[in-house]
Chains A and B, each alone.
Chain A
Protein backbone atom coordinates (compact mmCIF):
# COMPACT_ATOMS: atom_id res chain seq x y z
CA UNK A 1 0.00 0.00 0.00
CA UNK A 2 2.65 2.45 -1.05
CA UNK A 3 3.02 5.14 -3.63
CA UNK A 4 6.31 6.50 -4.85
CA UNK A 5 7.01 9.14 -7.41
CA UNK A 6 10.68 9.60 -8.13
CA UNK A 7 10.48 13.00 -9.73
CA UNK A 8 13.94 13.81 -8.53
CA UNK A 9 15.50 11.04 -6.52
CA UNK A 10 14.69 8.34 -4.01
CA UNK A 11 14.60 9.65 -0.46
CA UNK A 12 13.07 8.68 2.88
CA UNK A 13 9.37 9.51 3.15
CA UNK A 14 9.89 12.26 5.76
CA UNK A 15 12.43 14.02 3.56
CA UNK A 16 10.20 13.52 0.54
CA UNK A 17 7.36 15.18 2.43
CA UNK A 18 9.56 18.17 3.26
CA UNK A 19 10.75 18.35 -0.34
CA UNK A 20 7.11 18.33 -1.50
CA UNK A 21 6.27 21.12 0.93
CA UNK A 22 9.18 23.13 -0.43
CA UNK A 23 8.07 22.36 -3.96
CA UNK A 24 4.55 23.62 -3.34
CA UNK A 25 5.52 26.71 -1.32
CA UNK A 26 4.62 28.94 -4.27
CA UNK A 27 1.13 27.47 -4.30
CA UNK A 28 0.75 28.04 -0.54
CA UNK A 29 1.72 31.71 -0.84
CA UNK A 30 -0.53 32.13 -3.83
CA UNK A 31 -3.47 30.61 -1.96
CA UNK A 32 -2.94 33.03 0.93
CA UNK A 33 -2.98 35.94 -1.53
CA UNK A 34 -6.04 34.49 -3.24
CA UNK A 35 -7.88 34.18 0.09
CA UNK A 36 -7.14 37.82 0.90
CA UNK A 37 -8.19 39.01 -2.54
CA UNK A 38 -11.45 37.07 -2.44
CA UNK A 39 -12.19 38.27 1.09
CA UNK A 40 -12.03 41.93 0.13
CA UNK A 41 -12.96 41.59 -3.56
CA UNK A 42 -15.28 44.31 -4.90
CA UNK A 43 -15.13 46.11 -1.56
CA UNK A 44 -14.45 49.84 -1.71
CA UNK A 45 -12.59 49.93 1.59
CA UNK A 46 -10.73 46.64 1.10
CA UNK A 47 -8.48 45.60 3.96
CA UNK A 48 -9.56 48.69 5.94
CA UNK A 49 -12.53 46.55 6.96
CA UNK A 50 -10.08 44.48 9.01
CA UNK A 51 -9.71 47.59 11.23
CA UNK A 52 -13.24 48.94 11.00
CA UNK A 53 -14.99 45.72 11.95
CA UNK A 54 -13.40 45.28 15.42
CA UNK A 55 -13.58 49.05 15.90
CA UNK A 56 -17.34 49.04 15.37
CA UNK A 57 -17.85 46.07 17.67
CA UNK A 58 -15.64 47.47 20.40
CA UNK A 59 -17.31 50.88 20.42
CA UNK A 60 -20.78 49.35 20.73
CA UNK A 61 -19.82 46.64 23.23
CA UNK A 62 -17.87 49.12 25.35
CA UNK A 63 -20.93 51.37 25.49
CA UNK A 64 -23.32 48.61 26.56
CA UNK A 65 -21.13 46.23 28.55
CA UNK A 66 -18.99 49.00 30.00
CA UNK A 67 -22.09 50.09 31.89
CA UNK A 68 -22.81 46.52 33.04
CA UNK A 69 -19.22 45.92 34.17
CA UNK A 70 -19.11 49.45 35.60
CA UNK A 71 -15.96 50.24 33.61
CA UNK A 72 -14.31 53.41 34.90
CA UNK A 73 -13.20 54.71 31.52
CA UNK A 74 -15.14 54.16 28.28
CA UNK A 75 -12.11 54.49 25.95
CA UNK A 76 -9.89 52.21 28.03
CA UNK A 77 -12.61 49.59 27.92
CA UNK A 78 -13.09 50.12 24.16
CA UNK A 79 -9.36 49.50 23.63
CA UNK A 80 -9.59 46.40 25.83
CA UNK A 81 -12.52 45.03 23.80
CA UNK A 82 -10.82 45.91 20.49
CA UNK A 83 -7.70 43.94 21.49
CA UNK A 84 -9.94 41.04 22.55
CA UNK A 85 -11.82 41.10 19.24
CA UNK A 86 -8.51 40.87 17.36
CA UNK A 87 -7.73 37.46 18.82
CA UNK A 88 -11.33 36.30 18.91
CA UNK A 89 -11.92 37.08 15.22
CA UNK A 90 -8.66 35.42 14.24
CA UNK A 91 -9.45 32.31 16.27
CA UNK A 92 -13.08 31.84 15.24
CA UNK A 93 -12.51 32.67 11.56
CA UNK A 94 -9.59 30.25 11.40
CA UNK A 95 -11.51 27.46 13.17
CA UNK A 96 -14.62 27.75 11.03
CA UNK A 97 -12.74 28.16 7.74
CA UNK A 98 -10.46 25.23 8.57
CA UNK A 99 -13.45 22.90 8.91
CA UNK A 100 -13.79 23.24 5.12
CA UNK A 101 -10.07 23.70 4.55
CA UNK A 102 -9.56 20.45 2.67
CA UNK A 103 -13.03 20.27 1.13
CA UNK A 104 -12.51 23.66 -0.49
CA UNK A 105 -9.25 22.37 -1.99
CA UNK A 106 -10.91 19.44 -3.74
CA UNK A 107 -10.01 20.87 -7.14
CA UNK A 108 -6.34 20.59 -6.32
CA UNK A 109 -6.38 17.42 -4.25
CA UNK A 110 -8.21 15.36 -6.89
CA UNK A 111 -5.83 16.55 -9.57
CA UNK A 112 -2.41 16.12 -7.98
CA UNK A 113 -0.69 14.64 -4.98
CA UNK A 114 -0.20 17.90 -3.10
CA UNK A 115 0.55 17.79 0.66
CA UNK A 116 -2.55 18.61 2.72
CA UNK A 117 -0.45 20.98 4.80
CA UNK A 118 -0.38 23.47 1.91
CA UNK A 119 -4.16 23.90 2.30
CA UNK A 120 -4.13 23.70 6.08
CA UNK A 121 -1.64 26.52 6.56
CA UNK A 122 -3.33 28.93 4.14
CA UNK A 123 -6.14 29.79 6.55
CA UNK A 124 -4.07 30.70 9.65
CA UNK A 125 -1.59 32.55 7.41
CA UNK A 126 -4.15 34.66 5.56
CA UNK A 127 -5.86 35.28 8.91
CA UNK A 128 -2.53 36.47 10.26
CA UNK A 129 -2.36 39.23 7.61
CA UNK A 130 -5.84 40.40 8.60
CA UNK A 131 -4.82 40.18 12.28
CA UNK A 132 -1.82 42.47 11.82
CA UNK A 133 -3.90 44.89 9.70
CA UNK A 134 -6.39 45.04 12.56
CA UNK A 135 -3.47 45.48 14.98
CA UNK A 136 -2.48 48.61 13.03
CA UNK A 137 -6.04 49.81 13.62
CA UNK A 138 -5.60 49.31 17.36
CA UNK A 139 -2.33 51.26 17.37
CA UNK A 140 -3.94 54.07 15.31
CA UNK A 141 -6.84 54.17 17.77
CA UNK A 142 -4.41 54.39 20.69
CA UNK A 143 -2.48 57.15 18.95
CA UNK A 144 -5.71 59.07 18.28
CA UNK A 145 -6.63 58.77 21.96
CA UNK A 146 -3.13 59.84 23.08
CA UNK A 147 -2.59 56.47 24.75
CA UNK A 148 0.21 55.11 22.62
CA UNK A 149 2.02 52.19 24.32
CA UNK A 150 4.99 53.20 26.41
CA UNK A 151 8.29 52.54 24.59
CA UNK A 152 10.30 49.59 25.83
CA UNK A 153 11.51 46.08 25.18
CA UNK A 154 7.97 44.76 25.53
CA UNK A 155 7.07 46.26 22.13
CA UNK A 156 9.53 43.85 20.51
CA UNK A 157 7.18 41.08 21.60
CA UNK A 158 4.53 42.23 19.11
CA UNK A 159 6.16 40.61 16.05
CA UNK A 160 7.01 37.53 18.12
CA UNK A 161 3.37 37.29 19.15
CA UNK A 162 2.46 36.39 15.57
CA UNK A 163 4.77 33.36 15.71
CA UNK A 164 3.25 32.24 19.03
CA UNK A 165 -0.27 32.68 17.67
CA UNK A 166 0.57 30.75 14.51
CA UNK A 167 2.24 27.93 16.47
CA UNK A 168 -1.00 27.62 18.45
CA UNK A 169 -3.44 28.07 15.58
CA UNK A 170 -1.80 25.84 13.00
CA UNK A 171 -2.41 22.51 14.80
CA UNK A 172 -5.98 23.66 15.52
CA UNK A 173 -6.45 24.27 11.80
CA UNK A 174 -4.99 20.85 10.94
CA UNK A 175 -7.23 19.10 13.46
CA UNK A 176 -10.33 20.94 12.29
CA UNK A 177 -9.65 20.17 8.63
CA UNK A 178 -8.91 16.48 9.24
CA UNK A 179 -11.72 15.79 11.70
CA UNK A 180 -14.17 18.19 10.04
CA UNK A 181 -13.84 16.42 6.69
CA UNK A 182 -14.63 13.04 8.22
CA UNK A 183 -17.20 14.11 10.78
CA UNK A 184 -19.52 16.69 9.24
CA UNK A 185 -21.39 17.28 12.48
CA UNK A 186 -18.32 19.05 13.79
CA UNK A 187 -19.31 22.30 12.08
CA UNK A 188 -22.53 22.49 14.09
CA UNK A 189 -20.78 21.42 17.28
CA UNK A 190 -18.11 24.08 16.83
CA UNK A 191 -20.72 26.81 16.28
CA UNK A 192 -22.16 26.04 19.71
CA UNK A 193 -18.75 25.52 21.33
CA UNK A 194 -17.41 28.83 20.05
CA UNK A 195 -20.44 30.71 21.36
CA UNK A 196 -19.84 29.16 24.78
CA UNK A 197 -16.11 29.88 24.57
CA UNK A 198 -16.77 33.55 23.85
CA UNK A 199 -18.46 33.95 27.22
CA UNK A 200 -15.68 32.00 28.94
CA UNK A 201 -12.93 34.19 27.50
CA UNK A 202 -11.88 37.70 28.55
CA UNK A 203 -12.76 39.21 25.18
CA UNK A 204 -15.18 41.70 26.67
CA UNK A 205 -15.39 40.21 30.16
CA UNK A 206 -12.84 41.90 32.38
CA UNK A 207 -9.76 39.80 33.01
CA UNK A 208 -9.81 40.47 36.79
CA UNK A 209 -12.83 38.19 37.20
CA UNK A 210 -10.58 35.22 36.32
CA UNK A 211 -7.85 35.90 38.87
CA UNK A 212 -9.63 34.07 41.65
CA UNK A 213 -12.85 32.32 42.52
CA UNK A 214 -14.32 29.51 40.50
CA UNK A 215 -13.48 31.25 37.19
CA UNK A 216 -9.73 31.05 37.94
CA UNK A 217 -9.58 27.59 36.42
CA UNK A 218 -10.22 29.21 33.02
CA UNK A 219 -6.65 30.53 33.03
CA UNK A 220 -5.47 26.96 32.54
CA UNK A 221 -8.21 25.20 30.60
CA UNK A 222 -8.99 28.02 28.19
CA UNK A 223 -5.90 28.81 26.07
CA UNK A 224 -7.48 32.04 24.86
CA UNK A 225 -7.01 33.54 28.34
CA UNK A 226 -3.18 33.47 28.29
CA UNK A 227 -3.18 34.28 24.54
CA UNK A 228 -5.20 37.42 25.22
CA UNK A 229 -2.93 38.29 28.16
CA UNK A 230 0.13 37.97 25.92
CA UNK A 231 -1.31 40.49 23.47
CA UNK A 232 -2.58 42.99 26.02
CA UNK A 233 0.45 42.95 28.31
CA UNK A 234 2.86 44.65 25.89
CA UNK A 235 0.26 46.74 24.00
CA UNK A 236 -2.12 47.98 26.68
CA UNK A 237 -0.20 47.50 29.91
CA UNK A 238 3.33 48.25 28.71
CA UNK A 239 4.85 45.14 30.23
CA UNK A 240 6.58 41.90 29.22
CA UNK A 241 4.76 38.58 28.97
CA UNK A 242 3.91 36.78 32.17
CA UNK A 243 5.90 33.55 32.53
CA UNK A 244 2.84 31.51 33.49
CA UNK A 245 0.98 32.64 30.36
CA UNK A 246 3.91 31.62 28.16
CA UNK A 247 4.16 28.18 29.76
CA UNK A 248 0.41 27.54 29.42
CA UNK A 249 0.30 28.63 25.77
CA UNK A 250 3.37 26.57 24.88
CA UNK A 251 1.92 23.53 26.67
CA UNK A 252 -1.34 23.86 24.77
CA UNK A 253 0.52 24.28 21.50
CA UNK A 254 2.67 21.19 22.13
CA UNK A 255 -0.41 19.12 23.01
CA UNK A 256 -2.30 20.32 19.97
CA UNK A 257 0.65 19.55 17.67
CA UNK A 258 0.77 16.04 19.08
CA UNK A 259 -2.95 15.55 18.45
CA UNK A 260 -2.76 17.07 14.98
CA UNK A 261 0.15 14.81 14.04
CA UNK A 262 -1.65 11.68 15.28
CA UNK A 263 -4.89 12.65 13.52
CA UNK A 264 -3.03 13.37 10.26
CA UNK A 265 -1.14 10.07 10.34
CA UNK A 266 -4.27 8.09 11.16
CA UNK A 267 -6.31 9.68 8.39
CA UNK A 268 -3.55 9.64 5.76
CA UNK A 269 -4.59 10.43 2.21
CA UNK A 270 -7.84 8.46 2.64
CA UNK A 271 -9.47 11.82 3.35
CA UNK A 272 -9.47 12.47 -0.40
CA UNK A 273 -12.30 9.94 -0.72
CA UNK A 274 -14.42 12.04 1.63
CA UNK A 275 -13.99 15.29 -0.31
Chain B
Protein backbone atom coordinates (compact mmCIF):
# COMPACT_ATOMS: atom_id res chain seq x y z
CA UNK B 1 0.00 0.00 0.00
CA UNK B 2 1.05 3.57 -0.32
CA UNK B 3 3.78 4.82 -2.57
CA UNK B 4 4.02 8.07 -4.42
CA UNK B 5 1.09 8.93 -6.63
CA UNK B 6 2.30 10.83 -9.63
CA UNK B 7 -0.25 13.19 -11.08
CA UNK B 8 0.04 13.62 -14.81
CA UNK B 9 -1.08 16.94 -16.13
CA UNK B 10 -2.05 17.83 -19.62
CA UNK B 11 0.19 20.47 -21.16
CA UNK B 12 -2.80 22.67 -21.94
CA UNK B 13 -3.46 23.05 -18.21
CA UNK B 14 -0.81 25.66 -18.19
CA UNK B 15 -2.53 27.97 -20.59
CA UNK B 16 -4.54 29.61 -17.84
CA UNK B 17 -1.53 30.65 -15.81
CA UNK B 18 -0.05 32.68 -18.60
CA UNK B 19 -2.83 35.26 -18.46
CA UNK B 20 -1.53 37.33 -15.60
CA UNK B 21 1.34 37.20 -13.20
CA UNK B 22 1.73 40.37 -11.15
CA UNK B 23 5.20 41.78 -11.22
CA UNK B 24 6.25 42.64 -7.68
CA UNK B 25 8.44 45.50 -8.84
CA UNK B 26 6.06 47.54 -10.89
CA UNK B 27 2.62 46.13 -10.34
CA UNK B 28 2.38 45.54 -14.09
CA UNK B 29 1.24 42.22 -15.44
CA UNK B 30 3.72 40.24 -17.46
CA UNK B 31 3.32 36.80 -18.97
CA UNK B 32 4.49 33.91 -16.82
CA UNK B 33 7.24 31.60 -17.95
CA UNK B 34 6.32 27.92 -17.91
CA UNK B 35 8.17 25.75 -15.42
CA UNK B 36 10.12 22.60 -16.29
CA UNK B 37 6.94 20.53 -16.54
CA UNK B 38 4.56 23.28 -17.55
CA UNK B 39 2.77 23.54 -14.23
CA UNK B 40 2.46 26.26 -11.64
CA UNK B 41 3.91 24.31 -8.69
CA UNK B 42 6.34 21.57 -9.47
CA UNK B 43 8.16 19.63 -6.78
CA UNK B 44 10.56 17.05 -8.13
CA UNK B 45 12.37 14.48 -6.00
CA UNK B 46 12.53 16.85 -3.07
CA UNK B 47 14.25 15.85 0.14
CA UNK B 48 14.25 18.12 3.14
CA UNK B 49 16.04 17.39 6.37
CA UNK B 50 15.12 19.40 9.41
CA UNK B 51 17.91 19.89 11.94
CA UNK B 52 17.12 18.95 15.54
CA UNK B 53 18.50 21.02 18.37
CA UNK B 54 21.39 23.41 17.79
CA UNK B 55 22.03 24.30 14.18
CA UNK B 56 25.74 23.82 14.76
CA UNK B 57 26.48 20.87 16.96
CA UNK B 58 28.55 21.61 19.99
CA UNK B 59 29.07 24.63 22.15
CA UNK B 60 32.01 26.58 23.44
CA UNK B 61 32.12 24.14 26.35
CA UNK B 62 32.37 21.08 24.10
CA UNK B 63 34.85 22.90 21.84
CA UNK B 64 37.09 23.55 24.85
CA UNK B 65 36.72 19.99 26.13
CA UNK B 66 37.57 18.63 22.69
CA UNK B 67 40.97 20.33 22.99
CA UNK B 68 41.71 17.84 25.77
CA UNK B 69 40.64 14.86 23.70
CA UNK B 70 37.04 14.66 24.90
CA UNK B 71 34.69 13.39 22.21
CA UNK B 72 31.00 14.21 22.35
CA UNK B 73 28.81 11.12 22.28
CA UNK B 74 26.32 11.45 19.46
CA UNK B 75 23.38 9.38 20.59
CA UNK B 76 20.62 11.52 19.09
CA UNK B 77 20.22 12.02 15.35
CA UNK B 78 21.24 15.44 14.03
CA UNK B 79 18.48 15.70 11.45
CA UNK B 80 15.02 14.29 10.80
CA UNK B 81 13.78 13.75 7.29
CA UNK B 82 10.73 15.97 6.87
CA UNK B 83 10.15 14.43 3.45
CA UNK B 84 12.21 12.29 1.13
CA UNK B 85 12.21 12.12 -2.66
CA UNK B 86 8.81 13.77 -2.78
CA UNK B 87 7.30 14.72 -6.14
CA UNK B 88 4.11 16.68 -6.58
CA UNK B 89 2.65 18.80 -9.34
CA UNK B 90 -0.14 21.27 -8.82
CA UNK B 91 -1.82 22.89 -11.74
CA UNK B 92 -3.45 26.27 -11.99
CA UNK B 93 -7.04 26.40 -10.81
CA UNK B 94 -6.59 23.71 -8.16
CA UNK B 95 -7.48 24.03 -4.50
CA UNK B 96 -5.29 21.48 -2.81
CA UNK B 97 -5.63 20.35 0.78
CA UNK B 98 -2.69 18.65 2.43
CA UNK B 99 -3.61 16.32 5.28
CA UNK B 100 -1.73 13.94 7.52
CA UNK B 101 -1.10 13.16 11.15
CA UNK B 102 1.08 15.33 13.38
CA UNK B 103 4.70 15.43 12.27
CA UNK B 104 3.96 14.03 8.83
CA UNK B 105 5.71 16.93 7.07
CA UNK B 106 2.69 18.93 5.86
CA UNK B 107 3.71 22.33 7.17
CA UNK B 108 7.33 21.81 6.20
CA UNK B 109 6.22 21.00 2.66
CA UNK B 110 4.18 24.19 2.56
CA UNK B 111 7.16 26.22 3.72
CA UNK B 112 9.34 24.56 1.10
CA UNK B 113 6.78 25.66 -1.52
CA UNK B 114 7.04 29.19 -0.16
CA UNK B 115 10.83 29.00 -0.48
CA UNK B 116 11.26 29.48 3.25
CA UNK B 117 12.96 26.13 3.92
CA UNK B 118 15.82 25.02 1.67
CA UNK B 119 15.90 21.51 0.24
CA UNK B 120 18.75 19.03 0.54
CA UNK B 121 17.88 17.41 -2.79
CA UNK B 122 15.46 17.99 -5.63
CA UNK B 123 13.76 21.08 -6.96
CA UNK B 124 10.77 23.23 -6.14
CA UNK B 125 9.51 25.46 -8.93
CA UNK B 126 6.68 27.86 -8.33
CA UNK B 127 5.36 30.02 -11.12
CA UNK B 128 3.52 33.06 -9.91
CA UNK B 129 3.40 35.56 -7.09
CA UNK B 130 3.13 33.82 -3.72
CA UNK B 131 0.92 34.89 -0.84
CA UNK B 132 1.38 33.11 2.47
CA UNK B 133 -0.58 32.70 5.65
CA UNK B 134 1.66 30.27 7.47
CA UNK B 135 1.30 31.39 11.06
CA UNK B 136 -1.19 33.91 12.39
CA UNK B 137 1.27 35.65 14.68
CA UNK B 138 4.26 35.75 12.37
CA UNK B 139 4.98 38.99 10.58
CA UNK B 140 2.79 41.12 12.82
CA UNK B 141 4.13 43.65 15.29
CA UNK B 142 1.93 43.31 18.43
CA UNK B 143 2.67 46.84 19.62
CA UNK B 144 1.63 48.38 16.29
CA UNK B 145 -1.96 48.97 15.23
CA UNK B 146 -3.79 46.79 12.74
CA UNK B 147 -3.58 49.60 10.19
CA UNK B 148 0.22 49.85 10.61
CA UNK B 149 0.52 46.09 10.36
CA UNK B 150 -1.27 46.13 7.01
CA UNK B 151 1.72 48.09 5.76
CA UNK B 152 4.30 45.86 7.50
CA UNK B 153 2.78 42.72 6.04
CA UNK B 154 2.22 44.28 2.64
CA UNK B 155 5.86 45.35 2.50
CA UNK B 156 6.94 41.87 3.59
CA UNK B 157 5.09 40.69 0.48
CA UNK B 158 7.17 43.08 -1.61
CA UNK B 159 4.69 45.90 -2.15
CA UNK B 160 5.37 49.61 -1.86
CA UNK B 161 3.68 51.98 0.56
CA UNK B 162 1.76 53.52 -2.34
CA UNK B 163 0.47 50.16 -3.57
CA UNK B 164 -0.60 49.20 -0.04
CA UNK B 165 -2.27 52.59 0.51
CA UNK B 166 -4.44 51.93 -2.55
CA UNK B 167 -5.53 48.59 -1.11
CA UNK B 168 -5.82 49.72 2.53
CA UNK B 169 -9.55 50.56 2.51
CA UNK B 170 -10.46 47.27 0.83
CA UNK B 171 -8.33 45.28 3.30
CA UNK B 172 -9.94 47.00 6.29
CA UNK B 173 -13.41 46.45 4.84
CA UNK B 174 -12.76 42.75 4.20
CA UNK B 175 -11.21 42.14 7.63
CA UNK B 176 -14.23 43.82 9.24
CA UNK B 177 -12.43 44.73 12.45
CA UNK B 178 -14.23 48.04 12.97
CA UNK B 179 -12.54 50.41 15.40
CA UNK B 180 -10.04 47.71 16.37
CA UNK B 181 -8.08 48.49 13.22
CA UNK B 182 -6.51 51.49 15.03
CA UNK B 183 -5.73 49.58 18.22
CA UNK B 184 -2.48 47.69 18.91
CA UNK B 185 -2.64 44.12 17.67
CA UNK B 186 -1.78 42.78 21.12
CA UNK B 187 -5.42 43.55 21.96
CA UNK B 188 -6.68 41.28 19.15
CA UNK B 189 -8.12 37.81 19.51
CA UNK B 190 -6.66 34.98 17.43
CA UNK B 191 -9.67 35.20 15.12
CA UNK B 192 -8.98 38.89 14.50
CA UNK B 193 -5.36 38.07 13.71
CA UNK B 194 -6.55 35.60 11.09
CA UNK B 195 -9.03 38.06 9.60
CA UNK B 196 -6.40 40.72 9.10
CA UNK B 197 -3.72 38.27 7.94
CA UNK B 198 -6.04 36.64 5.44
CA UNK B 199 -7.31 40.01 4.19
CA UNK B 200 -3.79 41.30 3.50
CA UNK B 201 -2.45 38.02 2.08
CA UNK B 202 -5.29 37.73 -0.42
CA UNK B 203 -5.95 41.38 -1.28
CA UNK B 204 -3.15 41.57 -3.80
CA UNK B 205 -4.47 38.50 -5.60
CA UNK B 206 -1.44 36.22 -5.36
CA UNK B 207 -1.19 33.52 -8.00
CA UNK B 208 -0.33 30.98 -5.35
CA UNK B 209 -1.87 31.18 -1.88
CA UNK B 210 -0.35 28.95 0.82
CA UNK B 211 -2.33 28.62 4.05
CA UNK B 212 -1.27 26.64 7.10
CA UNK B 213 -3.80 25.59 9.74
CA UNK B 214 -4.86 29.09 10.62
CA UNK B 215 -8.08 29.44 8.75
CA UNK B 216 -10.33 27.83 11.33
CA UNK B 217 -9.75 30.60 13.85
CA UNK B 218 -12.14 32.99 12.08
CA UNK B 219 -15.87 32.97 12.82
CA UNK B 220 -18.50 31.42 10.53
CA UNK B 221 -19.41 34.66 8.75
CA UNK B 222 -15.77 35.42 8.01
CA UNK B 223 -15.09 31.84 6.93
CA UNK B 224 -17.83 32.18 4.31
CA UNK B 225 -16.39 35.46 3.00
CA UNK B 226 -12.92 33.91 2.97
CA UNK B 227 -14.22 30.91 1.06
CA UNK B 228 -15.75 33.17 -1.59
CA UNK B 229 -12.51 35.07 -1.93
CA UNK B 230 -10.51 31.87 -2.29
CA UNK B 231 -12.87 30.63 -4.95
CA UNK B 232 -12.46 33.96 -6.72
CA UNK B 233 -8.68 33.65 -6.45
CA UNK B 234 -8.76 30.26 -8.06
CA UNK B 235 -11.02 31.55 -10.83
CA UNK B 236 -8.61 34.36 -11.56
CA UNK B 237 -5.67 32.14 -12.38
CA UNK B 238 -4.60 30.99 -8.93
CA UNK B 239 -3.67 28.03 -6.83
CA UNK B 240 -4.61 27.52 -3.22
CA UNK B 241 -2.72 25.03 -1.08
CA UNK B 242 -4.01 24.54 2.44
CA UNK B 243 -2.75 22.47 5.34
CA UNK B 244 -5.30 21.61 7.99
CA UNK B 245 -6.44 18.97 10.44
CA UNK B 246 -10.01 20.17 9.94
CA UNK B 247 -11.19 17.59 7.43
CA UNK B 248 -14.63 19.16 7.06
CA UNK B 249 -13.00 22.44 6.08
CA UNK B 250 -10.68 20.68 3.65
CA UNK B 251 -13.61 18.77 2.15
CA UNK B 252 -15.52 22.00 1.66
CA UNK B 253 -12.70 24.11 0.25
CA UNK B 254 -10.47 21.75 -1.64
CA UNK B 255 -10.99 20.01 -4.93
CA UNK B 256 -7.96 17.81 -4.45
CA UNK B 257 -6.41 16.31 -1.34
CA UNK B 258 -2.86 15.11 -0.83
CA UNK B 259 -2.33 12.83 2.16
CA UNK B 260 1.20 12.80 3.50
CA UNK B 261 2.54 10.25 5.94
CA UNK B 262 6.11 10.42 7.26
CA UNK B 263 7.11 12.70 4.43
CA UNK B 264 5.72 10.50 1.69
CA UNK B 265 2.65 11.13 -0.45
CA UNK B 266 0.42 8.11 0.20
CA UNK B 267 -2.80 9.29 -1.47
CA UNK B 268 -3.46 12.02 -3.97
CA UNK B 269 -6.86 12.56 -5.53
CA UNK B 270 -10.36 13.93 -5.11
CA UNK B 271 -11.28 15.03 -1.60
CA UNK B 272 -14.24 12.63 -1.58
CA UNK B 273 -11.88 9.69 -2.19
CA UNK B 274 -8.87 10.57 -0.02
CA UNK B 275 -10.47 11.95 3.14
CA UNK B 276 -12.51 8.76 3.95
CA UNK B 277 -9.38 6.65 3.58
CA UNK B 278 -7.47 8.99 5.88
CA UNK B 279 -10.25 8.77 8.45
CA UNK B 280 -10.11 4.97 8.21
CA UNK B 281 -6.36 5.11 8.76
CA UNK B 282 -6.77 7.34 11.81
CA UNK B 283 -9.29 4.92 13.35
CA UNK B 284 -7.05 1.94 12.60
CA UNK B 285 -9.33 0.47 9.95
CA UNK B 286 -6.75 1.07 7.26
CA UNK B 287 -3.08 0.12 7.51
CA UNK B 288 -0.49 1.59 5.18
Contacts and interface: CB of A to CB of B under 8 A. Distances in A.
Given A6-B126, A111-B132, A273 B50 contact: yes
Interface string B102-126: 0000000001101111111111111
Contacts of B120: 1
Interface string B46-67: 0000110011100110000000
Contacts of A38: 143
Contact of B121 (A1, A108, A111): A1
B156 A114 contact: yes
A8 B160 contact: no
Contacts of A112: 114-116, 130, 132, 139, 156-157
Interface in B6-26: 21-25
Given A111-B156, A273-B51, A6 B32 contact: yes
A8 B23 contact: yes
A258 interface: no
A108 B140 CA distance: 9
Contact of A19 (B25, B60, B115, B157): B25
Given A27-B156, A185-B60, A270-B55, A7 B139 contact: no
A23 B56 CA distance: 32
A7 B129 contact: yes
A185 B128 CA distance: 41
Of the listed residues B32, B51, B117, B128, the one surrounded by the most CB atoms of chain A closer than 10 A to its CB is B117
A34 B33 contact: no
A23 B23 CA distance: 10
A274 B157 contact: no
Contacts of A195: none
B60 A108 contact: no
Contacts of A273: 50-51, 55, 117
A8 B138 contact: no
Contact of A34 (B32, B119, B141): B141
Contacts of B35: 4, 6
Given A22-B25, A112-B114, A112-B157, A182 B56 contact: yes
A272 interface: yes
B124 A3 contact: yes
A24 B21 CA distance: 18
A67 interface: no
Contact of B24 (A1, A23, A34, A109): A23
A182 B132 contact: no
A131 B33 CA distance: 46
A57 interface: no
B127 interface: yes
A104 to B, nearest CB: 11
Contacts of A271: 55
Interface string A1-38: 11111111110000000010011101100100010001
Chain A residues touching B, range: 35 or more
Contacts of B59: 184-185
A9 B30 contact: yes
Contacts of A189: 60
Contact of A108 (B33, B111, B139, B143): B139
Interface string B190-202: 0000000000000
Of the listed residues A26, A38, A108, A189, the one surrounded by the most CB atoms of chain B closer than 10 A to its CB is A26
Contacts of B30: 8-9
Given A110-B134, A273-B50, A7 B156 contact: no
Contacts of A181: 55
B47 to A, nearest CB: 8
Contacts of A22: 25
A1 B119 contact: yes
B33 A182 contact: no
A166 B207 CA distance: 38
Given A6-B33, A27-B156, 14 more contacts: A6-B32, A8-B25, A30-B161, A34-B141, A106-B138, A108-B138, A108-B139, A111-B132, A112-B139, A182-B56, A188-B60, A189-B60, A270-B118, A274-B51
Interface of B: 21-25, 30, 32-33, 35, 50-51, 54-56, 59-60, 111-112, 114-130, 132, 134-135, 137-141, 143-144, 151-152, 155-161, 207
20 contacts: A1-B120, A1-B121, A5-B115, A7-B23, A7-B128, A8-B25, A26-B161, A30-B152, A34-B144, A107-B139, A108-B139, A108-B156, A109-B116, A110-B111, A111-B116, A111-B135, A113-B115, A272-B118, A273-B51, A273-B55
